[in-house]
Amino acid sequence: MKRFTSLFAALVLGLGIQFSAAANTVAPDALVKSVSDDVISIVRQDKAIQSGDTHKAVSLVETKVLPYFDFAHMTRLAVGKDWKQASADQKSTLTQEFKTLLVRTYSNALTKYRDQQIDFEPLKAKPEDTDVIVRTKVRQAGAKPVQIDYNLEKQGDSWKVYDVLVAGVSLVTNYRDEFGQEVRAGGIDGLIKTLKDKNKQIDPAVAAKK
């Protein structure tokens, strides 16, 4: 009986600890892991996404992934030095268009998911750090694992992803040269126009036909 009570106490205590952890900040590596686990378990069961339903993949990304990304920061990084010359309006349009571009491109990638396994490397960070890298490796049969690293920044009580690196290539800064070129050719508005055109061109409805 005594053993039973202590077991019960441990259980309550355990639950209590878990609840308090949830109320406070979720560690950055735990965050990335839970989001990826979540998304993968959905894709695994969703035949529509597996057979290339980009619309569905996009909405999955929008609900499950986007809340943990800081697109304003990503856009600022991608635009680089020209960011300063953009007006507040232009900044928010740029952010919106860049977000659309990234979400569509990488949601398409999600439809290609086939049982890859994600390994998480131990997080190397001090408790007081506000900028960390969560390193993962995606393993698949017959190929070298692909390194995927997430840069996260602490904002208040939560962590937000501001860059993703695939095989060491930043999906964000990879745009910097192209964006710079566009701005030199047609100013910030030129860049906005190019992004809008590009987004129309890869609209899922159009992309699905390929």
Partner 1 sequence: MKKNSKPESTLVRRSTLAIGLTFAVTGCAGPGGHPKDPLEPMNRATFQFNEKADKYVMRPVAEVYDQAPLPVKTGVANFFGNIADVWIGVNNLLQGKFTDGLSDGGRFLLNSTVGLLGVFDVATEIGLEKHDEDLGQTLGYWGVGDGPYLVLPFLGPSNVRDGVSLIGDFHFDPLMQLEDVGARNSLTGLRFVSKRAALLGADTAAEEAALDKYGYMRSFYIQYRRNQIFDGQPPREKDPDDDDSSDNDKAATDKSAVGDAADKSPSPDKKESQ
| Site membership for partner 1, residue 36 (CB under 8 A) | no
25 within 8 A of 157, measured Cβ to Cβ? yes
Q: Determine the Cα–Cα distance for residues 171 and 88; give it in Å rounded to an integer.
A: 24
Using CA atoms, how far residue 113 sits from 13, 45, 116, 139, in Å, is 39, 12, 7, 12
| Site membership for partner 1, residue 81 (CB under 8 A) | yes
Minimum CB–partner distance for residue 144 and partner 1 (Å):
6
Which string of x and - marks every residue 163-202 that binds partner 1 (by CB under 8 A)? --x-xxxxx-xxxxxxx-xx-xx--------xx--x---x
| Site membership for partner 1, residue 122 (CB under 8 A) | no
| Site membership for partner 1, residue 108 (CB under 8 A) | yes
Using CA atoms, how far residue 159 sits from 24, 38, 69, in Å, is 12, 17, 9
Minimum CB–partner distance for residue 118 and partner 1 (Å):
16
152 within 8 A of 161, measured Cβ to Cβ? yes
Of 37 and 178, which CB lies nearer to partner 1 in the complex structure? Answer: 178
Residues contacting partner 1: total by CB under 8 A: 45
User: Of residues 2, 5, 87, 142, which one binds partner 1 by CB under 8 A?
Assistant: 142
Q: Determine the Cα–Cα distance for residues 209 and 29; give it in Å rounded to an integer.
A: 37
Which positions ≥6 away from 47 have C-beta within 8 Å?
Answer: none
Minimum CB–partner distance for residue 37 and partner 1 (Å):
23
56 within 8 A of 48, measured Cβ to Cβ? yes
Give me the residues that bind partner 1 (CB under 8 A), please: 76-77, 79-81, 83-84, 101-102, 104-106, 108-109, 112, 133, 141-144, 147, 151, 165, 167-171, 173-179, 181-182, 184-185, 194-195, 198, 202, 207, 210
